[in-house]
């Protein structure tokens, strides 16, 4: 989550009496890190065939049963028997604060797609003069976040394909709010679908003449499906705070709304936001769909686990302070033989919340009306982990009459059912060995601990992982363990609650993460803490917890988004909300732009090796 998101969501959360966490608001981060102060001036301060139409359009991949989820795919494209993926890069130094992207020796960094760049055919593109709606509606949005790479039929996937990416928030310095301010802001969020191509010299670029290129924005109309559609309405105008994302086994893209209200346009009913939105990147004329069966909360990303019998589960984190971890299991199997049969798979199923027991066991608690306390007159205990032992937050009565009530009020339902309140669950990833990982970014207002959240005033976060019973997506029990506690090294002599146990390069606030097709775990950070240098990306050994710093971003940015070519020779990474001079267009600066970059080795070998 961009900390700017917290800033923008604060008024509506204040009105609902929600706790705002010290240390995560813009003012607190600026106070802790004065280098970010310019963000106030440069950004916010500037003032699938009709749902898939009954059937999904034909997937562009070479076969409908291709599993293109990098979290689950064991293939690697054009590798040879001699190709090696052992991690051998020399880790970067500590405390790097350069206003550029720093990578190990032997690597290249190239900017692929920046805020305001051309997207849809006919787009003008940003050239330095702030722009307004409708021009901004067809070009790249701001604050690039989660993304995924999709192959195209007839195209070598190591030389081209579709890159789909989220725009969490606005790159305000590129916008002119004198005209149509609401629509202009809303045009800068959402999703981009772009076709990308690799030239013979290895450099990637956007094909600006591709018919696949499309923007889904906060002004776009979305269909609504699933159990809560009757209450939400058949359509909703806009998507917002598109944070992270995830693919499906059938080749669609799930963009995740990380807000349950539309703060840019409060005339819109808040029930229309906080959902998973399914987009078919191969069908630019299709209408994207909000899938209400998967619950409404501050969604971060999705990751799936697929059984041999094609039953599938989707894992999700609620980036709330605190928030819970969820799993959604569709009622029917995924059909790899007929893509159209998956067009409504996410509309029926069972939503669960995770309970992490102190003995290392865990269970998935069903969130279905009439079960586990989800009845009329249920008592919501509130975010009790945020108040001192011996006191309780004000509880409230909530009526869960129907499944729509459960899904619209998923956060409350999870608390009533006894889900574990975690320290801001962000990204989830599923490994090739079916172990599941989740980053808990931080929770500096936690007052009550548990084994899975062991630190009060947890400023630096941690990573947990679990193994489903029988390695099954359908399991209702699991075993969990702590991978690492982020924070300062023990040698620094800091207080226990800010000292981690990282073996290697220290970091704060793990956020983005993904396990690539060769089983290598990559972790990205989003920290406002001092003492760690600029936000970075790390390789983390899953057995030892050893971390190696692979990439450091420019000033003021968050590192987020991980995608790659199938042969892993190109990594696509997002630089979100930089605030100094990196990637500026205006000669005088002041418009440092978010961007998708490509990282690759000069010798053409796989990244990381």
Give the Cα-Cα-Cα angle 318, 321, 325 (nearest 5 degrees).
Answer: 30
pLDDT at 63 over 80: no
Distance CA 101, CA 123 (A): 28
Is the pTM value of this prediction over 0.85? yes
pLDDT tens string 113-130: 999 999 999 999 999 999
Band of pLDDT at residue 8, cut at 50, 70 and 90:
confident
Percent of the chain surpassing pLDDT 90: 85
Q: Summarize the confidence of residues 198-215 as an average pLDDT.
A: 97
Band of pLDDT at residue 392, cut at 50, 70 and 90:
confident
Residue 83 burial class via C-beta count within 10 angstroms: exposed 0-12, middle 13-18, buried 19 and up = middle
Count of Cβ atoms closer than 10 Å to residue 603 Cβ: 9
Question: Residue 54's pLDDT is what?
Answer: 35
Q: Summarize the confidence of residues 485-508 as an average pLDDT.
A: 96
Distance CA 562, CA 144 (A): 11
| β-pair partners for 540 | 521, 547
pLDDT tens string 286-343: 999 999 999 999 999 999 999 999 999 999 999 999 999 999 999 999 999 999 999 9
Q: Summarize the confidence of residues 522-549 as an average pLDDT.
A: 95
pLDDT at 146 over 50: yes
Q: Summarize the confidence of residues 229-250 as an average pLDDT.
A: 97
Strands across the sheet containing 477-485: 299-306, 312-318, 325-330, 349-356, 361-366, 477-485, 462-468, 435-440, 425-430
Question: Residue 491's pLDDT is what?
Answer: 94
Q: Do 291 and 407 contact (CB within 8 A), yes or no?
A: no
Residues in Cβ contact with 38 at an 8 Å cutoff, skipping those fewer than 6 apart: 556, 579, 580
Band of pLDDT at residue 13, cut at 50, 70 and 90:
low
Question: Residue 9's pLDDT is what?
Answer: 65
pLDDT at 46 over 70: no
Residue (of 294, 274, 304) closest to 227 by Cα position? 294
| CA R_g for the chain | 22
Distance CA 508, CA 442 (A): 9
Question: Residue 71's pLDDT is what?
Answer: 54
Q: Summarize the confidence of residues 136-145 as an average pLDDT.
A: 98
SS (H, E, C) 86-144: CCCCCCCCCCCCCCCCECCCCEEEEEEEECCCECCCCCCCCCCCCECCCHHHHECCCCE
DSSP state of 323: B
Question: Residue 83's pLDDT is what?
Answer: 86
Residue (of 588, 590, 592, 589) closest to 577 by Cα position? 592
Q: Which helix (H) or strand (E) holds 405?
A: helix 403-408
Cα–Cα distance list, 532 to 33, 255, 486, 522, 581 (Å): 12, 30, 11, 18, 21
Residues in Cβ contact with 71 at an 8 Å cutoff, skipping those fewer than 6 apart: 303, 304, 429, 430, 431, 514, 515
Question: Residue 82's pLDDT is what?
Answer: 77
Question: Residue 78's pLDDT is what?
Answer: 52
Question: Residue 27's pLDDT is what?
Answer: 33
pLDDT at 67 over 80: no
Is the dihedral angle over the CA atoms 33, 512, 212, 256 positive or is it negative? negative
Q: How far apart are the first and last CA of the chain?
A: 29
pLDDT at 238 over 90: yes
pLDDT at 464 over 50: yes
pLDDT tens string 350-389: 999 999 999 999 999 999 999 999 999 999 999 999 999 9
pLDDT at 42 over 90: no
pLDDT tens string 424-439: 999 999 999 999 999 9
Q: Summarize the confidence of residues 83-112 as an average pLDDT.
A: 96
Average pLDDT, the chain: 90
Q: Do 169 and 4 contact (CB within 8 A), yes or no?
A: yes
């Amino acid at each position: 989550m961009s900390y700017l998101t917290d800033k923008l969501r604060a008024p509506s959360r204040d009105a609902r009496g929600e706790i705002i966490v010290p240390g995560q608001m813009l003012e607190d981060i600026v106070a802790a890190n004065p280098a970010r102060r310019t963000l106030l001036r440069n950004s916010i301060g500037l003032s699938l065939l009709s749902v898939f139409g009954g059937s999904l359009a034909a997937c562009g991949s070479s076969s409908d049963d291709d599993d293109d989820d990098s979290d689950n795919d064991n293939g690697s494209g054009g590798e040879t028997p001699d190709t090696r993926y052992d991690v051998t890069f020399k880790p970067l130094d500590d405390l790097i604060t350069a206003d550029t992207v720093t990578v190990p020796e032997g690597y290249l960094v190239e900017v692929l797609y920046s805020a305001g760049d051309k997207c849809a055919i006919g787009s003008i593109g940003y050239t330095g003069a702030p722009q307004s709606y409708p021009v901004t509606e067809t070009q790249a949005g701001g604050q690039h976040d989660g993304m995924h790479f999709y192959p195209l039929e007839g195209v070598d996937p190591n030389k081209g394909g579709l890159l789909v990416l989220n725009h969490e928030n606005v790159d305000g310095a590129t916008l002119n709010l004198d005209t149509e301010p609401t629509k202009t802001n809303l045009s800068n969020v959402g999703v981009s679908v772009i076709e990308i191509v690799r030239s013979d010299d290895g450099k990637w670029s956007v094909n600006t003449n591709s018919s696949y290129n499309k923007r889904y924005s906060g002004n776009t109309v979305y269909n609504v499906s699933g159990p809560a559609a009757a209450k939400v309405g058949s359509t909703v105008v806009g998507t917002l705070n598109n944070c992270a994302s995830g693919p499906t086994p059938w080749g669609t893209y799930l963009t995740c709304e990380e807000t349950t209200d539309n703060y840019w346009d409060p005339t819109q009913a808040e029930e229309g936001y906080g959902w998973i939105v399914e987009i078919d990147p191969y069908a630019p004329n299709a209408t994207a769909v909000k899938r209400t069966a998967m619950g409404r909360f501050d969604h971060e990303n999705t990751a799936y686990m697929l059984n041999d019998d094609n039953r599938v589960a989707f894992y999700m984190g609620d980036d709330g302070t605190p928030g819970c971890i969820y799993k959604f299991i569709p009622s029917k199997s995924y059909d790899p033989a007929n893509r159209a049969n998956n067009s409504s798979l996410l509309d029926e199923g069972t939503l669960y919340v995770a309970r992490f027991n102190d003995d290392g066991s865990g269970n998935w608690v069903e969130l279905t009306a009439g079960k586990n306390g989800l009845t009329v007159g249920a008592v919501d205990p509130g975010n009790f982990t945020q108040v001192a032992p011996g006191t309780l937050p004000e509880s409230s009565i909530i009526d869960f009459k129907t499944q729509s009530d459960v899904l619209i009020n998923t956060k409350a339902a999870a608390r009533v059912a006894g889900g574990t309140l975690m320290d801001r669950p962000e990204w989830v990833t599923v490994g090739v060995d079916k172990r599941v990982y989740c980053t808990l970014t931080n929770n500096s207002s936690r007052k009550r601990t548990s084994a899975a959240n062991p630190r009060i005033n947890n400023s630096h976060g941690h990573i947990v992982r679990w193994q489903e019973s029988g390695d099954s997506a359908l399991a209702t029990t699991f075993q969990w363990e702590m991978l690492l506690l982020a924070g300062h090294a023990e040698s620094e002599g800091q207080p226990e609650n800010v000292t981690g146990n990282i073996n290697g390069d220290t970091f704060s606030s793990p956020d983005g993460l993904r396990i690539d097709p060769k089983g290598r775990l990559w972790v990205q950070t989003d920290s406002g803490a001092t003492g760690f240098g600029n936000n970075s990306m790390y390789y983390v050994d899953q057995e030892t917890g050893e971390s190696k710093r692979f990439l450091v971003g420019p000033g003021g940015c968050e590192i987020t988004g991980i995608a790659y070519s199938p042969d892993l020779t190109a990594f696509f990474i997002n630089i979100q909300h930089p605030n100094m001079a990196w990637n500026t267009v205006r000669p005088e600066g002041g418009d440092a732009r978010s961007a998708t970059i490509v990282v690759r080795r000069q010798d053409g070998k796989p990244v990381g090796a």
